[in-house]
Structure formats: structure tokens, C-alpha cells
């Protein structure tokens, strides 16, 4: 059975190849009347443009859906909340400006992208975000939890979640989750995070490069590795061969403390760092 085709990479240069701490990241959460962007509407939004962990611009607002408000038992937004709220079209210019030159970050991002595109189109604004970061993919790779719903992740990771399914609360949780994912994956650039696609058996190029350097120099590594269905573990590892032509790609070597031979899926290596000086075992 063939695997899904990998999407085309983001364009080279900034912001995707900027150091992660310097890249403009645009965290977004939407509450909608339903799940079909063709007929459902946004009833609340929160968008925060962040650089180096600092919020540089923020927009949070209820939105008049100009029709039924949907299931209030899910989003918790009632008619009184929407009284006097602007329509999405009235906010559309500010929304588009917040994303200019930035990287969209969301949880289950395909829904947010689809609704933003549809709402902006209704306002006469052409917009798309073919490349973005999805914390759902990132959390599935980094953590072994039974559920990766945002509220469950907040509970598992000890992130404050005051009011689930409110856009401003969910962006706060989203940013906390993003920080925790980065602690595990240790990316240098947004592009490195973009390469984390669960289900595609795709190895991050930065990890492949680190393994190739270790093979060339003879330096052993400390790998943070997450087997399928299990929590991440640290492995002291010496690389003896690589099979990047395989699907999934594999690295072959031995455990430095026991000399036990191991073959590891490269796409499941979360991070790596030097363990010993070159030539040591």
C-alpha cells in the first residue's frame, strides 16, 4: 500500500528558514457555528502574532454570524455575547494583515485555514495558507497520549485551561502546547517543525543531517526516540549505517552501554545531541 504523497515544502527563506525565536508566528483559534465552511460561520476569533515568545499584535472578538449561532452547548457563545459584535467582514482587513509574512499555527489547522479562507472570500479578500504548522501533528509525534484534543493536552501537560472552546482561552493553551512540543523536538527553524508529518513516515532533514554527521565523525549520540504507542525514551546510540532510501528510513547502530544492535525509524527520532567526543565508544 503506497503512503500519502508529501506536500510541497514552504518557499525558501524567511520566515520558514529564520531562527525559530525570530520568526513571526500567528497563533489562531476560531469558534464556528458548525464544521462546514461553505455554510457555517465564525462566531469568535482570537489571533495573536508572536515573535520570540512576545505578542506583538492581537485581535480577539466575537463575530456576528448574520444567521443562526449554531450549537451553543459546544462553543458556549450565546446571543448576548454577539449583541453588537462586528461581522467577520468588518474585521477582515485586520485579520489579513495579522497573517502577512507570518506563519499560521493552529490545532487541527485545516479547519481554521478553510474557515478563514471562506470568510475572507465573502469579504472580497483572496487569501490562502498552503503552508502552516499544526500542533495536532506535532503533539502526536512528541507525546504518547490517548487523546490529542486541546483540552486533554492542557490537562496532561499542566497548561491552564479556563474555558475550553473559547477562542482566547484556546490560543493561550495552543501557545503553551507549542512551547512544550518545542522542548521535545528542539527545532531550530519553523521549517524543521513543518517536516513533522505524522502518518507519512517522513524523517526531518535536520535529524538526518545530525545522524550523517555522527556516522562520519564516529561521535555517539543521545537520541530522544518515541516508539509507536509508547512514551519517548533516551537512547545512547552509536551509528554504524543509515538506510534513508527505505520507507520508513532507518538508522542502524548499537547501544553504547550494552553494544546491543538496534534499528530505529528515523522519523521517530524526536531530537539528538552529541554524547561523546569523536572516536570514543
Residue 51 sits in a domain whose CATH number is 3.30.420.10
Give residue 4's pLDDT.
54
5: pLDDT confidence band, cut at 50, 70 and 90? low
Domain final position from 193, 217, 239: 193
2: pLDDT confidence band, cut at 50, 70 and 90? very low
CA distances, 234 to each of 184, 227, 230, 280 (Å): 11, 11, 12, 19
Same domain (yes/no): 28, 127? yes
Give residue 101's pLDDT.
97
192: pLDDT confidence band, cut at 50, 70 and 90? very high
Give residue 163's pLDDT.
74
| Res 109 pLDDT > 60 | yes
Asked if residue 123 belongs to a domain, the reply is: yes
Same domain (yes/no): 26, 71? yes
Distance CA 17, CA 7 (A): 17
Asked if residue 279 belongs to a domain, the reply is: no
Domain count, the chain: 2
Same domain (yes/no): 49, 161? yes
74: pLDDT confidence band, cut at 50, 70 and 90? confident
Distance CA 268, CA 193 (A): 13
Give residue 276's pLDDT.
62
Asked if residue 120 belongs to a domain, the reply is: yes
pTM of the model: 0.92
User: What does pLDDT average to over the chain?
Assistant: 93
Domain that holds residue 184: 20-193
Distance CA 44, CA 167 (A): 6
Domain final position from 134, 160, 193: 193
Give residue 3's pLDDT.
52
Give residue 197's pLDDT.
85
200: pLDDT confidence band, cut at 50, 70 and 90? confident
Give residue 281's pLDDT.
42
Same domain (yes/no): 84, 116? yes
| Res 279 pLDDT > 70 | no
Distance CA 281, CA 278 (A): 9
Amino acid at each position: 500500500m503506497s503512503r500519502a504523497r508529501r506536500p510541497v515544502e514552504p518557499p525558501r527563506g524567511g520566515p520558514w528558514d529564520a531562527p525559530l525565536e525570530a520568526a513571526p508566528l500567528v497563533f489562531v483559534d476560531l469558534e464556528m457555528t458548525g464544521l462546514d465552511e461553505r455554510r457555517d460561520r465564525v462566531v469568535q476569533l482570537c489571533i495573536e502574532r508572536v515573535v520570540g515568545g512576545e505578542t506583538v499584535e492581537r485581535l480577539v472578538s466575537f463575530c456576528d454570524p448574520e444567521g443562526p449561532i449554531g450549537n451553543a452547548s459546544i462553543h458556549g457563545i450565546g446571543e448576548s455575547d454577539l449583541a453588537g459584535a462586528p461581522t467577520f467582514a468588518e474585521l477582515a482587513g485586520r485579520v489579513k494583515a495579522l497573517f502577512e509574512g507570518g506563519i499560521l499555527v493552529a490545532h487541527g489547522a485545516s479547519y481554521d485555514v478553510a474557515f478563514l479562507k471562506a470568510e475572507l472570500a465573502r469579504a472580497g479578500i483572496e487569501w490562502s495558507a498552503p503552508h502552516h504548522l499544526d500542533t495536532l501533528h506535532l503533539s502526536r509525534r512528541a507525546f504518547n497520549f490517548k487523546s490529542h484534543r486541546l483540552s486533554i493536552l492542557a490537562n496532561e501537560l499542566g497548561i491552564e485551561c479556563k474555558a475550553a472552546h473559547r477562542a482566547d482561552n484556546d490560543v493561550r493553551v495552543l501557545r503553551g502546547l507549542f512551547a512544550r512540543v518545542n522542548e521535545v523536538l528542539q527545532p531550530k527553524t519553523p521549517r524543521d517543525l513543518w517536516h513533522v508529518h505524522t502518518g507519512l513516515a517522513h524523517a526531518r532533514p535536520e535529524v538526518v543531517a545530525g545522524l550523517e554527521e555522527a556516522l562520519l565523525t564516529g561521535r555517539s549520540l543521545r537520541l530522544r526516540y518515541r516508539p509507536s504507542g509508547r512514551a519517548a525514551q533516551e537512547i545512547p546510540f552509536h551509528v554504524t549505517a543509515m538506510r534513508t532510501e527505505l520507507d520508513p528510513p532507518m538508522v542502524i547502530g548499537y547501544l553504547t552501554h550494552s553494544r546491543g544492535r538496534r534499528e530505529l525509524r528515523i522519523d521517530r527520532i524526536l531530537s539528538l545531541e552529541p554524547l561523546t567526543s569523536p572516536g570514543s565508544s
